[in-house]
Amino acid sequence: MDSSSEALYVALNAGINIWCTPEDHPQDHPQDWDGVPLIAGAFTKPFGFVGTATWMWENERIVAVSLDTDAYDLADYRPENLEWAERKACWLFGQAGVRCLPIVVE
């Protein structure tokens, strides 16, 4: 788990969950997120779930990233959630020194 100020990433067996913070969330309609009461729960600071990036395999090789957003805290599908989650997934690849793979929106 990376609890940097940018967002929160929770590793899965074949991908990551992406969570936003009160300071770092989808911006197209910030008032939507500003009204959402984010809570710390099991984490050290407040977060809201935005989406999941899972690896797409071809034989033994990861060839793309499948991105799915279901912002539970908004209970609504919004394009800005996808765009924000895509930027965060690519940022995370960059932090690992790996080129971001093509992202496929589910």
pLDDT at res. 3: 45
Give the chain's largest Cα–Cα span: 44
Structure token digits, residue 54: 């899972």
Residue 31 is predicted with a pLDDT of: 61
Q: Is the model's pTM score more than 0.75?
A: no
Secondary structure (3-state) at 89:
helix
Residue 78 has pLDDT above 70, yes or no: no
- Work out the mean pLDDT of the chain and round it to a whole number: 77
